[in-house]
């Protein structure tokens, strides 16, 4: 399973912010946040990921 979130600007700085928050992400093509959850990724885990990453991404976009 691979999930990509395409942003409108370079987002490499999100990698460090996410790591500090306990999430391991990477950025490809300079503007795409790539997530590689396990194949047995539960709905509960997906909800927790969204709850954690959405504020990080919104904060990043607002600060730019």
Q: What domain range includes position 59?
A: 3-63
pTM score, whole prediction = 0.86
- Count of domains forming the chain: 1
E strand spans, 11-60 = 26-28, 32-35
pLDDT at residue number 34:
97
Q: Residue 64 pLDDT > 90, yes or no?
A: no
Note the pLDDT of residue 51. Answer: 97
Encode pLDDT of 3-19 as tens digits: 999 999 999 999 999 99
User: How does pLDDT run across 24-40, given as a tens digit for each residue?
Assistant: 999 999 999 999 999 99
Mean pLDDT across 43-64: 95
d(CA 60, CA 58): 5
Number of H helices, E strands in the chain: 2, 3
Bridge partners, 26 (sequence order):
34
14 by DSSP, 3-state: which?
helix
């Amino acid at each position: 399973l691979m999930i990509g979130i395409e942003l409108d600007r370079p987002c490499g700085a999100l990698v460090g912010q996410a790591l500090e928050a306990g999430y391991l992400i990477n950025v490809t093509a300079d503007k795409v946040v790539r997530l590689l959850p396990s194949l047995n990724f539960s709905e509960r885990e997906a909800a927790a990921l969204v709850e954690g990453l959405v504020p990080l991404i919104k904060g990043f976009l607002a600060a730019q």
